[in-house]
Amino acid sequence: MSILDNLVERARKSKLMKKIYLKVFSPYVDLHVRELSLTFDLQPAKYEAKRLNLLVPSISREHVFGGIATAIDYFNRIAEAGGFQKRIIIINAEPGDEEIRQYFPGYRVAVCGEESPAEQQILPCRQGRLSIPVGREDLFFATAWWTAYCAQKMAAWQAAYYQNDLQPILYLIQDYEPGFYPWSSEYLLAESTYKYAGPQIALFNTKLLKTFFNRQGYCFTHEFYFEPGINAQLLQYKKVLDLTRKKKQILIYGRPSTPRNAFPLIVESLKVWSKLQPDAAEWKLLSVGEKHRDLDVGNGVTLKSLGKLSLADYARLLAESRVGLSLMVSPHPSYPPLEMAEYGLHVVTNSFQAKDLSSYYANIISLKKFMPDDIAAALEQATRKEPLSGGIKVKDADSGGGEEGLIAGIVRSLTSQKAGNKDS
């Protein structure tokens, strides 16, 4: 234990230090929920067009990856299939003009509270004020949990003002978001968005996630799911890199700032592995995903951080690595272990309730117990396996009836006023 760690540990156990902390910091404790700090200013709209409203935290370039990119993709496809006008309502980060011109050509940026007949609009929330004209035919497409909170408030105002039934809300669910927080106000608020009393259509990112929600007893008016698959560009790179020789290299998905990726557990497991593995010093350990300091894990082995990489550089590392380690404390499978497996790495990952990724690839070791000794033993086992040039697929991900059928089903559910039986 370092001197700094020792001081921190002693401070934590000191009653005097606790009293000083409470005295100094208690006046500054945050007593509000940041995600709910919006002021709503809803007005009736002059135009009565059918419009689909996507609510997202941000569309800025640094945020448009993964979940938000998926939301925008489905928003465009659903709007086009349903003949809806499009409006993107940005709840948090305001985008720059250049970003909008580059990534959203044909969109008009509306001023808060301004009514516009434009068929494609972007409406940013400014200074914590959500000033939005809402029409009788507006439909809301929620993404992160606090955007669902906003959508539910808007749908309630819309029904009350126009004296109509509640319009259905489409909710893109890409993870179990209460799990992003400790048991807390945010946990309860995030979970409450799944218990909305009005008509709500759930669109799940993977059947595994849908199964988790079903087993937890959550119930929606209609339910759909999609399987995102491996990034198309990574598959293209794989064809080019197919003959790359595998090295004694372990590729680790390391994101210290994201608790659900269990980075401290990964580090502790590597410390055990470095003692367990007879030839540990011959292996190179590389961490990708988020930049952190290089870490000594013992026996002359260093975990070197490369941070976030371009797809081309990531593909090259996938092609040359023999073993992968990626943890995700969540019912969502996450992409890195599947990408690693597709490139032929022997992958160590964790199961989580219904999630067992070894049912997709035979070269995935899906652990059910996660002590450092368990993970280290699985890594040692993976290093002894013969190198692979590609993944050993057990089965293809169930597509849920195909993309065309999925989009058509969502459009039908949005445009029908009947809150019928739950779809599967």
For the segment 300-320, what is each residue's pLDDT rounded down to a tens digit? 999 999 999 999 999 999 999
- Has residue 397 got a pLDDT over 80? no
pLDDT value at position 421? 41
Q: What is the pLDDT of residues 187-242, one digit of tens each?
A: 999 999 999 999 999 999 999 999 999 999 999 999 999 998 888 899 999 999 98
Rounded to 10 degrees, what is the CA torsion of 82, 83, 87, 89?
0
Whether pLDDT at 130 is above 50: yes
Whether pLDDT at 10 is above 90: no
Give residue 101's pLDDT band: very low, low, confident or very high (50, 70, 90): confident
pLDDT (0 to 100) of residue 398: 59
* Residue 185 CB coordination number (10 Å): 13
CA dihedral (15, 19, 20, 24) in degrees, to 10, reads: 150
- Count CB-CB contacts under 10 A for residue 94: 14
Which among 157, 103, 123 has a CA at the least distance from the CA of 51? 123
Higher pLDDT, 93 or 240: 240
Q: What is the chain's length?
A: 424
The pLDDT score that the predictor gives to residue 65 is: 54
**Model pLDDT, residue 37:** 74
Q: Higher-confidence residue: 413 or 113?
A: 413
pLDDT value for 401: 61
> pLDDT tens digits, residue range 371-382?
999 999 999 999
Q: What is the pLDDT of residue 272?
A: 98
Burial 308-340 (b: 16+ CB within 10 A, else e): eeeeeebbbbbbbbbbbbbbbebbbbbbbbbbb
Instruction: In whole angstroms, give the CA distance from residue 235 to residue 243.
Output: 14
- List, for residues 37-73, the tens digit of each pLDDT value: 778 889 999 888 899 999 998 876 554 456 788 899 9
Packing angle between helix 372-383 and helix 263-276, nearest 10 degrees?
60
Dist CA 327 CA 336 (whole Å): 9
Burial of 51 (0-12, 13-18, 19+ CB in 10 A): buried
Measure Cα distances from 116 to 39, 98, 107, 158 in Å.
21, 21, 12, 18
